[in-house]
Structures are given as structure tokens and as C-alpha cells.
Structure 1
């Protein structure tokens, strides 16, 4: 079987940095994601990712490595991953498609 297409949401939390803000560490993770080539979108409490499962999990691993290299002695990460095989989802349609469908339903309420 080929690599599953994954839609994921993860929240990486640097621990023990001595700073109240983790923005510098999260920015480092975003730099890693930019280089990864997979689709991603930062939001207030995490990042959405989508792409082949192996690339999504590698990107999360690489974020951990980069944030440790930036000085975080510990990292806690929450991850949710969804896959589906009943529909052919192409690169970049996962999260956007989910949001679009909900927006279409809500738009009907306005009529």
C-alpha cells in the first residue's frame, strides 16, 4: 500500500526555556515546515499539516529536533492525525476542503 495521505494538527510546547513566550521556538518550527514542502498553516494553538503520512511525521520530528537545538530541554506535543481511503484527496485539499464544507453549510443558514 502506498503512503497514506494524512491531515494532522499538532501543538508543540517547548518546556523549560525560562521564557514566558514560546514564539521564537514556534517560529523555528515554522521555518522547518517551510523547508519540508508539505502544506501547513499556523493557527493560535498549533499547526495544521497535510501530506503523505511519512512526510507529516518526519516534519513533526524535525520540528522537535530544531526546537531542542534552539535550547528547549523538553518538548510536549499533542497530535491528531486523520486519514481516509474512501476518497482520493490530492495535495492541499484536506483541511481546506473540511473548512469549505462547514462554511457552505453555515452559508445556508444565512438564506
Structure 2
């Protein structure tokens, strides 16, 4: 299982606001039932099978074009751990456990 951070930035738009484009990308995620995701103020975190995540990220990348963007810049950061199950909640808990020991 992988955790992927994705940031999709439309360029060449009439406004500096990108929330409508982010909403469009999240409509793609809402249709997906086999992945978990979390919207953050600066990106979206997706958890699940890496191949499936990359398929969905491709769909998300195309969304701003459908809404009139002339250019799209997508940044992807992948955490793919194979020696044990990796989850968003598990990563957070590992840090919180260490904070409580300090």
C-alpha cells in the first residue's frame, strides 16, 4: 500500500483562485471507492494501491483542462513501503506516540 501526496496547479487561468479546480479534482476522488484520501490546505493525500492511485491522479490531472486551464503542473510525492502496511493514520500515530514520550 502506498501513500501519495499530489498537488495539481492549473496555470493560464483568468483568476489567481484555484479552489474551483481543486473541487473538480476532488469530484474525481469522490467517485473512487477503493482509495482513501484527505484534502489538506496545500495538497491531497491518497492511500491505496500505487497503480490505482496513479490512474486516478492522471484523471485528476486532466480535470483542470476540461475546465478551461491552458496548462497544468502536477507534483506527486510517493511513500511506498513494502515491509509493513502503510496508512495515513499509522504514520500520524507513530509521530504522536513519539511526541507523547518526549
The TM tier, using the shorter chain, reads: over 0.9
Aligned length: 101
Structure 2 regions of 5+ residues with no counterpart? none
Q: Which residue of 2 aligns with 1:108?
A: 101
Q: Which residue of 2 aligns with 1:63?
A: 60
1:52 is matched with which residue: 49, 52, 64? 49
2:73 corresponds to 1:80:
no
Deviations along 1:71-104, one digit per CA (max 9) or x if unpaired, are 11111011110112111x2xxx511110111011
Q: Which residue of 2 aligns with 1:12?
A: 8
Moved over 6 A (4+): none
The TM-score, its normalising length taken from structure 1, stands at 0.85
The TM-score, its normalising length taken from structure 2, stands at 0.92
In structure 2, C-alpha distance between the alignment counterparts of 1:98 and 1:23, rounded to whole Å: 27
In structure 1, C-alpha distance between the alignment counterparts of 2:13 and 2:71, rounded to whole Å: 8
Q: Which residue of 1 aligns with 2:37?
A: 40
